[in-house]
Amino acid sequence: MEAFYMLLIVLFAILNLILFFKIWGMTNNVKDLKASTNAIRDILLKKEGISLDEVKPNKTGDGWS
């Protein structure tokens, strides 16, 4: 029975490591997605003749980055 628990603990530890690295990889994807959406936004705003200052709110700390 102890061997079963030990195997279960080792399996749980391995799965936690896999999950950690998957989440770490996803954070890099979010940075890439944000950069590409910002580029697309800039292109669309330029096409419509709208400046970025007109789109962003005036006060800081309201959730916009």
Q: What is the pLDDT of residues 1-29, one digit of tens each?
A: 999 999 999 999 999 999 999 998 888 87
- pTM for the model stands at 0.50
HSE-CB of 35 using CA atoms within 13 angstroms: 6
Helix (H, G, I), strand (E, B) or coil at 8: helix
Token output for 46:
């330029």
**pLDDT value of residue 12:** 97
Q: How confident is the model at residue 60 (pLDDT cuts 50, 70, 90)?
A: low
**pLDDT value of residue 53:** 73
What whole-number distance in Å separates Cα of residue 48 and Cα of residue 18?
Answer: 45
